[in-house]
Amino acid sequence: MLPRLFSTLSRLPPDAASHDMLNPEYDQLVGMRILIVEDDKALADGLLRTLRRARHAVDHAGTGELALRACTEVHYDLIVLDISLPGIDGFEVLRQLRKNRETGSVLVLTAHDAESDRVHGLDLGADDYVTKPFSLPEFEARVRALVRRAHAQRSPMLRMGTLTIDFTAHRAQISGEDLDLTPREWGVLEYLLAHTGQVVGKEQMLQALCSWDDSLTYNAIEVYVSRLRGKLQKAGVKIRTVRGFGYMVEDPNVPAR
């Protein structure tokens, strides 16, 4: 699915969002997949840098039309949505997202500080809003709050065999000894563990771990999985290849059927 979206973006005019994106830090830790919908390039660039420093995979759409198109191809954990957009405004984008049962959190950016506008956005399904102009610390705090809310169902600690994972501290240990993982290895491991017992495809992993202009490939996923298998062997944790479908982590604490 991602290649199809990337191909679509490559045919857009020069002022489209795909030409406005910054180059990501390829070896970053990845928290959430985030879409910024903002037509102010300077503001969008600042938010991209801020969120990527916080280890999120971030894409940028400069119009409501492009944002809706992107959301048909990729699931976003968080959408940062400006209201005053050219063409389809943010309220209409939000209405269509919720109509299409898009479940990601939405943080609205608005220059309209009237109570009626804030209420309208929340009624349409926004999870939070920030009024322009805003400070980056406030923006980051609201994003962190939405991250915590999105992950509220997941325990910050996981034990599997002799492997212990602290998702909050981004720390892995085997029998009490720290496991040396690169940022990409951590991202792949975290995604696989979040889907323990389920088969996940390479395409799913690419969508979760990469921005549109990231260079991670199917072959790279195979390399990271191979490395993880070697590092997790001592813990009794196995990453099984389901030929033609993807990978699945088998929990050694759960008896095989």
Facing residues of 57 across strands?
Answer: 33
Long-range contacts of 188-194 (CB under 8 A, 24+ apart): 188/221, 188/224, 188/225, 188/228, 189/165, 189/228, 190/30, 190/165, 192/228, 192/239, 192/247, 192/249, 193/158, 193/160, 193/165, 193/249, 194/154
Number of domains in the chain: 2
User: What is the chain's mean pLDDT, rounded?
Assistant: 80
CB neighbour burial string for 203-216, b if at least 16 within 10 angstroms, e if fewer: ebbbbbbbbbebeb
How many CA atoms, within 13 angstroms, populate the side-chain half-sphere of residue 163?
A: 27
Q: What is the pLDDT of residues 16-72, one digit of tens each?
A: 333 333 333 333 334 678 999 999 999 999 999 999 888 788 999 999 999 999 998
The answer to whether residue 257 is domain-embedded is no
- Give the CATH number for residue 142: 3.40.50.2300
Final residue of a structural domain among 150, 167, 198: 150
The proportion of the chain whose per-residue pLDDT surpasses 70, expressed as a percent, equals: 81
pLDDT recorded at residue 155: 59
One domain, residues 93 and 203 = no
pLDDT recorded at residue 239: 93
pLDDT recorded at residue 16: 35
One domain, residues 35 and 140 = yes
The answer to whether residue 174 is domain-embedded is yes
Contacts of 21 (CB under 8 A, 6+ apart): 48, 59, 60, 211, 212, 213
Q: What is the pLDDT of residues 205-229, one digit of tens each?
A: 887 777 655 667 888 889 999 999 9
One domain, residues 65 and 41 = yes
The answer to whether residue 255 is domain-embedded is no
State the Cα–Cα distance between residues 44 and 36, nearest whole angstrom: 7
One domain, residues 13 and 95 = yes
pLDDT recorded at residue 208: 75
Final residue of a structural domain among 102, 124, 150: 150
- Give the CATH number for residue 164: 1.10.10.10
State the residue for tokens 């995979």: 57
Q: What is the pLDDT of residues 230-257, one digit of tens each?
A: 999 999 899 999 888 899 988 776 555 4
Report phi then psi at 174, rounded to 5: -120, 120
One domain, residues 143 and 196 = no
Question: Containing domain of residue 188, as a range?
Answer: 157-250
pLDDT recorded at residue 254: 59
CB of 22 closer than 8 Å to CB of 228: no
The more confidently predicted of residues 3 and 110 is: 110
pLDDT recorded at residue 162: 92
pLDDT recorded at residue 88: 94
pLDDT recorded at residue 200: 85
State the Cα–Cα distance between residues 211 and 57, nearest whole angstrom: 5
pLDDT recorded at residue 251: 74
The answer to whether residue 24 is domain-embedded is yes
The answer to whether residue 127 is domain-embedded is yes
State the Cα–Cα distance between residues 31 and 187, nearest whole angstrom: 8
pLDDT recorded at residue 22: 30
pLDDT at residue 108 tops 90: yes
One domain, residues 7 and 91 = yes
One domain, residues 99 and 203 = no
One domain, residues 173 and 106 = no
The answer to whether residue 43 is domain-embedded is yes
One domain, residues 119 and 7 = yes
pLDDT at residue 134 tops 80: yes
One domain, residues 59 and 17 = yes
The answer to whether residue 187 is domain-embedded is yes
The answer to whether residue 140 is domain-embedded is yes
Q: What is the pLDDT of residues 144-171, one digit of tens each?
A: 888 777 665 555 778 888 999 887 778 8
Final residue of a structural domain among 117, 150, 183: 150
